[in-house]
Structure 1
């Protein structure tokens, strides 16, 4: 913060000079730099005490993937998506659905959203991990109790990651956007899927009508993931930025949501639990 404050003082001194506006183009650049730095300084100054991570102030890219549990897990994935979107909006964040793969019968197989706002990553980074649901299944004719799992992954959005993408390392596919039940919602193949062959990382985007826009967004997500991977070459960085990666199955959950035979939400990392499941999910 001291370096930012020092630079602000330097810029302010330049702006107060009598000849400052003689070169309008240069003056406008100085004013723009000053405004950007001032906004950054204010955000850091008002940073909540519990947001001390290096990337906490960035936007967040949150991905949801249904795991063990079939249709029940896919419905659970859609419930979590709704929960995160509602929480983000209540916090004043802007939410953009970048990709959503609907289930055949109900729910979603996967989804990726971009959460924009100051300290979005700080608010959502602790959601990394497996989320377990126990309830009476509405998809079971016997109305039996089912357990299902969903994997949530949260990474910071890096506005301009210094990652070089070689064309020969990318497999780019286009497809038609689909809605619930597998029905196509676009007549053209505007959705884009990109696979980074060396790392096998796959990202997709179908939020825009333009194939070019979807490609640009998918490349942004891929660069953020690769930049994160670069940061996590050491085990210390893995725990710092993203946390450990688990399979969406029994024994790996970070939080359990029980709706039957009793109601409880329990965070297995902190031991905190509450019976007010409605407040958590809604």
Structure 2
């Protein structure tokens, strides 16, 4: 393990040197600079933890040497106290290093595209989709991430049949990926005259945003149609053919975008969504070929799986993946998701650590 860590430290110092090279900041090297900066940032926590671990080991050796032939009881007691503290720190740092060495999701630092769709439950499902949209956007705002609407189809009573939006911010995917799946709500709809509790669902898909160079889409594989946008919008949104429908012929995927003011903007946003969906489809294809016991299921985002229930009569929210229940429904719907996400992340890390240990056996 330590040989690998020494090599990582050497790589980190090399990246530090590269990032200090003014030549990287010219137009032709921007991609290289961005990749180097991302790799450098990704290694920082591991390198700093390992360097501190080496310091602790060195201090232990130095303190132990002081005890050789030492007869002063006060000094001996002081050194032994220091050795106890250093041993505790060494144990904690070793555990932290093992976690940091667990293979990470390569998409964790990416921006995300979130797709929310009403499921079963008619108009109530559309209203619940709107609730989930507000929940996730408020969570994003609390983390100083930027949210941009890409596409939406309203249900007519304040809900959404579908809403797609982008969240931009470092680590957005690492946190929001745990929201992928089927969300279920149990409450009395506003349209219910008998006071009966209804159950409705909405699906959430959290897709890492991909760069053009990372997903190869050939122009000849696309059919692009334009049409007149509908629904609320700017002054010209309903009077010009600004909406865009993109069909990816090999896969059959269809993406529509109509919420931007111009045809070009809608095409750009539509291509963003298409790249994310194509990457997601390829990831699901690859994951399906893997041994189920060798990959984490906590953050897999299987959208056929019910992940969370929001029960309004009891003000209860239950995450079924970790068996955790909070009686703080209003706070959760207001974007207070960290307690769930932190435990999901811990469970995910534990599974990755176990899988890594099994692969080394």
Cα distance, 1:51–1:202 mapped onto 2, change above 3 Å: farther
The alignment status of 1:74 with 2:73, answered yes or no, reads no
For the 8 Å contact 1:173–1:192, the answer to whether it is kept is yes
Whole-angstrom CA distance in 1 between matches of 2:218 and 2:19 = 39
Q: Give the one of 115, 122, 144 matched to 2:196.
A: 144
* Higher gyration radius (CA): 2
* Residue 255 of structure 1: aligned partner: 308
Of the two structures, which has the highest relative contact order with CA contacts closer than 8 Å and spacing of 6 or more?
1
1:179 CA drift (Å)? 3.1
For the 8 Å contact 1:170–1:197, the answer to whether it is kept is yes
Q: Secondary structure at the match of 2:285?
A: coil
Q: Give the one of 225, 229, 239 matched to 1:173.
A: 225
For the 8 Å contact 1:71–1:106, the answer to whether it is kept is no
* Residue 244 of structure 1: aligned partner: 302
For the 8 Å contact 1:130–1:149, the answer to whether it is kept is yes
Whole-angstrom CA distance in 1 between matches of 2:25 and 2:125 = 56
* Residue 7 of structure 1: aligned partner: 15
Length-normalised TM-score, structure 1: 0.81
Q: Secondary structure at the match of 2:255?
A: strand
Q: Secondary structure at the match of 1:280?
A: helix
For the 8 Å contact 1:57–1:120, the answer to whether it is kept is yes
Question: What count of residue pairs does the alignment treat as equivalent?
Answer: 263
Q: Which protein has the bigger helix share?
A: 2
1:205 CA drift (Å)? 1.9
* Residue 249 of structure 1: aligned partner: none
Q: CA RMSD in A?
A: 3.1
Q: Secondary structure at the match of 2:210?
A: coil
1:242 CA drift (Å)? 4.8
Q: Which protein has the bigger strand share?
A: 1
Q: Secondary structure at the match of 1:86?
A: helix
The alignment status of 1:223 with 2:223, answered yes or no, reads no
Unmatched 5+ stretches in structure 1: 16-24, 247-251
For the 8 Å contact 1:102–1:110, the answer to whether it is kept is yes
